[in-house]
A and B are shown apart, each in its own frame.
Chain A
């Protein structure tokens, strides 16, 4: 279904932005992927070990990886690898400050398997026969979810298999502290809205968020924290008659 010839668009790749251009033009040489792949497995394993996979857990994964890679390795995989811009899009490899991309792949595999399992349990309550009946009946309401869950399982396994079959995956830049911080603030906002009200939460968030984006100038922060909620109130609550959850004050 998906072409492999490398002209596929790279979808909103976050790490393909100007930062890459900047780095490249700034003279960061990138090792040729071929050579990189060949000499990295050892360091990769060590790095992964350090990064929180328990030794036992990782050993298990690694064992699995050898069997999986034995299964999928072959001419086809090799041609895939040769044709893939896989490692290239992963951003530059800064020394010692990188998260192995393989970890991300494995996490996605687990997420996919978990989602598919949850979907299957929700659809069939774990019975085996229903699956087979459903797949024979395209008009069943469970047909599409069942196909989706199966495809997700296969795709997850394929991601893991390919990731492990590659001698070494490229590195992935660590997110740093800011994205989790923003996520935490957004999460807290969602919780707070029900308690202190929508506009109040916006004011608070607009006071807390700017420093995360590197702005500490109160002369800019304060007007924004007042103007944006006011604009939201006027546009949404006055013009569009949306009723946000009421708060303590507004």
Chain B
């Protein structure tokens, strides 16, 4: 660890422009994240060209601020109005919104903030101190290893889905089919497109999720308004914040989720969207009180938020060390780095060490900013519940329309959003869980591609999954979990129904 490089890096902090840019980016990012449908990817992609003409120490901190702010910001509407602002906050909505319905929205918001900041801090330290070793581990992940990793994620998440096996399986199967729609890069064939050229690009995830989560939630609220008095629908947010004990209690969960997020972030291909679910699923498995998950568990909020925020700094690792972007947003950041003359790759740290440590220092400072800024803002977020539904929901609908189009500039995406709204509402009515569908859509492309790549490598032999050490280990873990679950579900008495309904 070159000390002088860090010293040079800290000098960047003396530049008020750099700090101002980072703060502006952070604030803009929170807004971007909090508006349903406006994604960090989109904001960074559009704003990146403007930073090309700025100084590197101004432009890059601005973009990093947006990235970080947006991932945190997604949790705000997820908690307050049960509408995840970004796909990565979908898991946060489950317990966050449940807490808000009990009037405990402020606790949930603060827990989400603390978990985000802690996870981000830990992952940033990982980025600073062990980027190179972690990157060489991540780069060694071959196709069979990825196949097993996706399978592992699927098992971890699917094991905690839904109240009915048949309905959970239905949602997973539908998600698999939806994920298969479109152009298949491996064969060049188009699948399940029914001759519609817009479907060649696949079912765009963001518009679908806007429909399934945001619009269907609005439909549910419309239904409630028809049935109940306004006063009953509105829940006052209590002024009580989280206590030290609650933070301490959630700390093991936060640490574990940060680890998951940092590791998944360092692996190219899996992003915050998968990480939040995996962290949530793992936390639930390890929890002493799993029944509370879904009904308003602060731990659940902490797990999901730590899981997605830890991804952000960690995703910079393969991007900086190897010039390999793990997802679209790091790909855009890679372009922004290049336009500043900072060519990501094996020589980056050697040639531009001081500037990079400057960025790291900025990342740490934005973390502190996020905490202060967030704690201040949360006081005012209480007032969201005071907005009349007649103003709030139509405005959210307008934003959904804007966001769904902005992702791809595609008129067709409005139809996807509409279909998502109808399907999501029907699924809620019929008690078919939505998360397994989303998770299946997120994991299927990776699982399918890596499976097919592995089998092409091995000329069709499944032995490849056993002969590769990482893959074999993961396979053993997956088999172990499945076996354990099978054994436990057979041997333990089922909890009585009264417990469920409580």
Contacts and interface: CB of A to CB of B under 8 A. Distances in A.
- On whether the two chains bind one another, the answer is yes
Interface of A: 1-19, 21-22, 30, 33, 79-80, 82-86, 88-90, 101, 104-105, 107-108, 111-112, 115-116, 118-119, 122-123, 137-139, 141-145, 147-149, 151-152, 154-156, 158-159, 162, 172-173, 175-179, 181-183, 186-187, 189-190, 193-194, 198, 201-202, 205-206, 209-217, 220-221, 224, 228-229, 232, 235-236, 240-245
A85 B227 CA distance: 24
A174 B143 CA distance: 49
A159 to B, nearest CB: 5
B166 to A, nearest CB: 4
Instruction: Choose among B160, B163, B428 the residue with the greatest number of A CB atoms under 10 Å from its CB.
Output: B163
Contacts of A206: 394-395, 398
B500 A88 contact: yes
Given A148-B176, A183-B422, A194-B411, A155 B169 contact: yes
A19 B497 contact: no
B469 to A, nearest CB: 22
Interface stretch (B11-19, B323-331, B400-408): B400-408
Given A3-B485, A217-B390, 7 more contacts: A1-B169, A9-B94, A155-B169, A155-B170, A177-B226, A198-B401, A198-B405
Given A9-B160, A151-B172, A232-B398, A213 B393 contact: yes
A115 B499 CA distance: 36
A123 B194 CA distance: 10
Contacts of A82: 494
Interface bracket on B: 35 or more
A211 B390 contact: yes
A224 B169 contact: no
B284 to A, nearest CB: 7
Contacts of A176: 223, 226-227
Contacts, number: 328
Given A7-B291, A236-B406, A12 B173 contact: no
A14 B169 contact: no
Contacts of B434: 11-12
Interface of B: 38, 42-43, 46-47, 82, 93-94, 97, 101-102, 155, 158-170, 172-174, 176-177, 180, 184, 186-187, 189, 191-194, 213, 215, 217-228, 230, 232-233, 235, 284, 290-291, 293-295, 388-391, 393-395, 397-399, 401-402, 405-406, 409, 411, 414-415, 418, 421-422, 425-426, 428-436, 444, 448, 451-452, 455-456, 460, 485, 488-489, 492, 494-495, 497, 499-501
Contacts of B162: 2, 8-11
Nearest to B407: A242
Nearest 3 pairs of A and B residues by beta carbon: A215-B390, A9-B294, A11-B433
B455 A101 contact: no
Contact of A11 (B219, B226, B294): B294
Given A152-B173, A179-B219, A224 B429 contact: no
Contacts of B174: 112, 115, 148, 152
Nearest to A6: B495
Contacts of A84: 163-164, 497
A12 B435 contact: yes
A11 B94 contact: yes
B421 A183 contact: yes
Given A148-B177, A190-B418, A214-B389, A141 B166 contact: no
Contacts of B42: 240
Nearest to B230: A214
B451 A138 contact: yes
A214 B159 contact: no
A6 to B, nearest CB: 5
Given A12-B82, A212-B222, A152 B177 contact: yes
Contact of B166 (A11, A159, A190, A242): A159
A162 B166 contact: yes
A158 B180 CA distance: 23
A175 B82 contact: no
5 contacts: A2-B162, A2-B168, A19-B228, A186-B421, A202-B402
Nearest to A225: B394
Contact of A224 (B166, B395, B421, B455): B395
A85 B163 contact: yes
B500 A179 contact: no
A91 to B, nearest CB: 10
Given A7-B290, A138-B451, A229 B192 contact: no
B176 A151 contact: yes
Nearest to A177: B226
A221 B426 CA distance: 29
A108 B170 contact: yes
B102 A18 contact: yes
Contacts of A137: 460
Contacts of B448: 143-144
Contacts of B192: 119, 122-123, 145
Point out which of B43, B82, B193, B433 has the most chain A C-beta atoms below 10 A from its C-beta: B433
A90 B393 CA distance: 25
A11 B220 contact: no
Nearest to A138: B455
A115 B399 CA distance: 30
Residue in A82, A115, A154, A224 whose Cβ sees the most chain B Cβ within 10 Å: A224
- Residue from the set B192, B394, B414 with the largest chain A CB neighbour count within 10 Å: B394
Nearest to A9: B294
Given A86-B164, A108-B430, A139-B452, A224 B222 contact: no
Contacts of A138: 451-452, 455, 460
A7 B495 contact: yes
A145 B425 CA distance: 25
A3 to B, nearest CB: 6
A183 B395 CA distance: 15
Contacts of B169: 1-2, 151, 154-155, 158
Contacts of A12: 82, 93-94, 97, 213, 217, 428, 433-435
A182 B422 CA distance: 11
Given A2-B159, A4-B165, A179 B223 contact: yes
A242 B499 CA distance: 50
Contacts of B159: 1-3
Nearest to A160: B166
Q: Which of A1, A79, A181, A205 has the most CB of B within 10 A?
A: A1
A142 B191 contact: yes
B468 to A, nearest CB: 17
B226 A145 contact: no
B175 to A, nearest CB: 8
Contacts of B177: 115-116, 119, 145, 148-149, 152
